[in-house]
Structure 1
Amino acid sequence: MGRDLSSLRESGRHIAVFTTASLPWLTGTSVNATLRAAYLAKICKEAKVTIVLPWLGHSDQKEVYPHDITFQSPDEQEAWVRNWVEERVHFKSDYKIRFYAARFAPFLGSVFPVGDLTKSIPAEEADVAVLEEPEHLTWFHHGQRWTDAFRHVVGVIHTNYVDYIRRGGGRAASLSVTYLNRRVCCIHCHKVIKLSDAVQSLPRQVTCFVHGVPPPFLEVGQQASKPSQPGEPRFSKGAYFVGKLMWAKGFTEMLDMLSHHKRSTGEALPVDAFGSGPDADQIRSKADEQELQMTFPGRQDHLDDSIRSYRVLVNPSTSDVVATTSCEALAMGKWIVCAEHPSNQFFKAFQNALIYKDEAEFSQHLAHAMANDPHPMSEEDIGRLSWEQATERFLVAAQITPKEWPGGLGAFNDTIQWHLYNAGIGLEVLRKAVGAGQNTGQQPESVKGWDPEGYERLKNGEYHQRLGYVEPRLL
């Protein structure tokens, strides 16, 4: 490809999408990355598309996957993933699925590769690499440099890790992660796509929202936009939240806003918070302490019948890059109430997005949403939210023009930085100190049957502590 224009639309390209989470974990990096692969295969008919997913040991699966879903083999999980995708997109997509060995770090709440992830794709297919969360995939990466292994490497930033670390570890830790993210993205990516400007500035960046919403959500929204029968409300329930029950997901802001609403109106607005997470007990206790009418029904798919009848999603989070659940709620024809923030810039084009600047406006928007039906979905709304348009935006954002290729002194500096970083992160004592875990730099012989020794006997995180995992505040 050299310094010429490089586009994913070119005939004969091999596109590999690498991500940090796999279905059935319903998190943004699993859902959006898998759907991206499916739609790339649909739209780029002359390309060969592969998605590379983490394969977890059996005990990690029990920790991460919902509803006690576990798999005995990668083939079994592949069948589950394909079935889930086909139910969501309503078409069969010609893409491959590969797996890499990975471990779940419970104190970090994240999955990390074991060994050199670049080796997951045969050398003859190593053309385009789409790194979903490039910083996450490369913090502990020891092995071949991604831009040496692949001709065209584009990273997609999903998560505001700097904000997460700031909340858990303070300003010094967040500044360290800010610098680290810039270094690893500069070393490993030819181009970086930010979903919004809620995240830090990164080298060779472009800001574009390249995610969409699967057809079933849009179908629910189109149905909800139809006039209801006389005497029957379009929505029979009020306010809800769906997502991880973590303070970093905006629950501090949620409780503060709901407390202000209670003080200003004299009534506590009922809110049902669907989800699970490490801070669930603390959040529930704090809500009870403030005498808020919040219930916690547990983890549930956003498309579940039990959620469809709610009229307004309350999402005060400012830690998301762009909230997937807010997109889904808009697609389902609901109101969303969210904060004035770069992460919500995309939503300003939608009539049903009620964006507040302060506590008083939050209460006003919430009262309006509870008293009025959302606006019917327009064709423009449906198009903006669709994965077809999102994929077209991605293809434009991911191309590299001749002027955008890194070169000169900057490229030389990146190479020096890479050699230093790779040498350091290869030291076992350093890997343990920064939370990578013991022996995670070693390449497993095979993904099939991958499960670290002793994993099955310890379910409470003791094994991970012995492996050297540290809590986020130590990062």
Structure 2
Amino acid sequence: MAQKQHIAIFTTASLPWMTGTAVNPLFRAAYLAQDSDRDITLVIPWLSLKDQALVYPNKITFSSLVEHEAYVYWWLKEKADVISGFKITFYPGKFSKEKRSILPVGDITETIPDEVADIAILEEPEHLTWYHHGRRWKTKFRKVIGVVHTNYLEYVKREKNGQIQAFLLKYVNSWVIQIYCHKVFINPSTTDVVCTTTAEALAMGKIVICANHPSNEFFRQFPNCHMYNTGNEFVQLTLRALVEEPLPLTDGLRHALSWEAATERFVEAAELNEAIQEKTPLSPKPLVQMSSDDWRKSVEEASAFLHNTVSGIEVARCAFGAIPETLQPDEQLCKELGLDFPEHKMLFRH
């Protein structure tokens, strides 16, 4: 009998914040969980009330983990007619007003017990690992898959000294993703890396005009998708689209835009169906016996050690933009999450 896969999906946002990293991982969890051979846990940030008020719309707040969990399940059933077959676990988070982002607090790998730490999917891996201090993801989990959502470089370019910041951030992102992930799914758009609006428009039967760019290659198969290379082509295609009627989608193309098909492509790209191999600790080898792959792993280990050291220094963390005093959850977060304070070993789990 095949061993059951345990997949933990860590993400940087949660409903009711209607952002891509709240919605996309939620559907990924729901559709991966439809395979009975998989045990899926969605790991989302828990915010204290003052941060909830800054993030969640329509004055929605939650007084407990159970209340927040119930809302997520309710939304999935009522808004998308999808029955949840996965668990939800929370990690401590704080909202950064400067970055307009939720950042993890403490070592969030602790949310998953070692005995079921099989596969981790990091939605926005750079975001989740910029200030990570604790267990190395590749050591904790057998396989770590990163899914890049946000083009942070584009956002940073708009700030003061943006070009310099973007240059540095590009290399920091590549560094942390390399040392913490086995596989970095990237949609190399020049501005937005998700392209969900393109998929939504095609699914609604609309004509789409988009750039001839690697990020849009998937959409080339759709007859209602027209691609341009120059500004003049964009104008001509737009004028043509204004007098055309969209072609009806075939069943095959409609399926290609579904979450079922997206999940199938994800499973294939992530190689989730490959035979399960046990995690094996690295054993030191004499220098003369080290292959190029051994050298690469050694350099990676040293790089991860450097990051772990720097991320554990409060002054360095703050210098690189971390929220002050987020090496460990504060007393309020510990109380809300059911953690021991100040020293804790295990996070509350449902």
- Quote the residue 1:152 is aligned against: 143
In the alignment, is residue 442 of structure 1 matched against residue 328 of structure 2?
Answer: yes
In the alignment, is residue 15 of structure 1 matched against residue 10 of structure 2?
Answer: no
**Where does 1:359-438 land on structure 2 (aligned, <5 Å)?**
359-399=231-271, 407-438=293-324
- Quote the residue 1:73 is aligned against: 64
* Root-mean-square deviation over aligned CA pairs: 2.4
Is the CA contact (8 Å cut-off) linking 1:11 and 1:47 kept in structure 2? no
Following the alignment from structure 1 to structure 2, what is the Cα–Cα distance between the partners of residues 115 and 187? Answer: 18
How many aligned residue pairs are there?
Answer: 320
Aligned residue for 2:185, secondary structure, equals: strand
Query: 1:443 deviation in Å?
Result: 3.6
User: What is the percent sequence identity of the aligned residues?
Assistant: 47
Is the CA contact (8 Å cut-off) linking 1:155 and 1:192 kept in structure 2? yes
- Quote the residue 2:286 is aligned against: none
| TM score, norm. by length of structure 2 | 0.84
Look up the equivalent residue of 1:410 and give its one-letter code: R
Aligned residue for 1:193, secondary structure, equals: coil
Look up the equivalent residue of 2:77 and give its one-letter code: E
Query: 1:89 deviation in Å?
Result: 4.4
Following the alignment from structure 1 to structure 2, what is the Cα–Cα distance between the partners of residues 349 and 136? Answer: 32
Tell me the alpha carbon deviations over residues 154-205 of structure 1, each in whole angstroms, 9 at most, x when there is no partner: 11111222333234343322221121112111111112222x233xxxxxxx
Look up the equivalent residue of 1:352 and give its one-letter code: N
In the alignment, is residue 174 of structure 1 matched against residue 60 of structure 2?
Answer: no
Following the alignment from structure 1 to structure 2, what is the Cα–Cα distance between the partners of residues 62 and 344? Answer: 36
Is the CA contact (8 Å cut-off) linking 1:74 and 1:448 kept in structure 2? no
Is the CA contact (8 Å cut-off) linking 2:8 and 2:41 kept in structure 1? yes
Aligned residue for 2:33, secondary structure, equals: helix
- Quote the residue 1:276 is aligned against: none
Following the alignment from structure 1 to structure 2, what is the Cα–Cα distance between the partners of residues 363 and 448? Answer: 58
Tell me the alpha carbon deviations over residues 429-464 of structure 1, each in whole angstroms, 9 at most, x when there is no partner: 1111111111111145655636xxxxxxxxxxxxxx
Unaligned segments of structure 2, at least 5 residues: 280-291, 338-350
- Quote the residue 2:75 is aligned against: 84
- Quote the residue 1:355 is aligned against: 227
Following the alignment from structure 1 to structure 2, what is the Cα–Cα distance between the partners of residues 183 and 124? Answer: 28
Aligned residue for 2:184, secondary structure, equals: strand
Following the alignment from structure 1 to structure 2, what is the Cα–Cα distance between the partners of residues 94 and 18? Answer: 17
Tell me the alpha carbon deviations over residues 51-91 of structure 1, each in whole angstroms, 9 at most, x when there is no partner: 00011222222222222222222211111111221235434
**Where does 1:210-359 land on structure 2 (aligned, <5 Å)?**
318-359=190-231
Unaligned segments of structure 1, at least 5 residues: 1-9, 199-317, 451-475
Query: 1:108 deviation in Å?
Result: 1.0
Is the CA contact (8 Å cut-off) linking 1:86 and 1:92 kept in structure 2? yes
Following the alignment from structure 1 to structure 2, what is the Cα–Cα distance between the partners of residues 377 and 65? Answer: 36
Larger deviation: 12-21 or 329-338? 329-338
Look up the equivalent residue of 1:364 and give its one-letter code: Q
Is the CA contact (8 Å cut-off) linking 1:100 and 1:447 kept in structure 2? no
Which of 32, 48, 56 in structure 1 is aligned with 2:47? 56
- Quote the residue 1:183 is aligned against: 175
Following the alignment from structure 1 to structure 2, what is the Cα–Cα distance between the partners of residues 448 and 428? Answer: 23
Is the CA contact (8 Å cut-off) linking 1:115 and 1:444 kept in structure 2? no
In the alignment, is residue 33 of structure 1 matched against residue 25 of structure 2?
Answer: yes
Against the structure 1 CA distance between its residues 448 and 18, is the aligned structure 2 distance closer, same or farther, given a 3 Å change threshold? Answer: farther
Query: 1:147 deviation in Å?
Result: 0.8
Following the alignment from structure 2 to structure 1, what is the Cα–Cα distance between the partners of residues 38 and 65? Answer: 24
Aligned residue for 1:103, secondary structure, equals: strand
Following the alignment from structure 1 to structure 2, what is the Cα–Cα distance between the partners of residues 163 and 343? Answer: 15
Tell me the alpha carbon deviations over residues 275-329 of structure 1, each in whole angstroms, 9 at most, x when there is no partner: xxxxxxxxxxxxxxxxxxxxxxxxxxxxxxxxxxxxxxxxxxx411132122112
Following the alignment from structure 1 to structure 2, what is the Cα–Cα distance between the partners of residues 66 and 368? Answer: 39
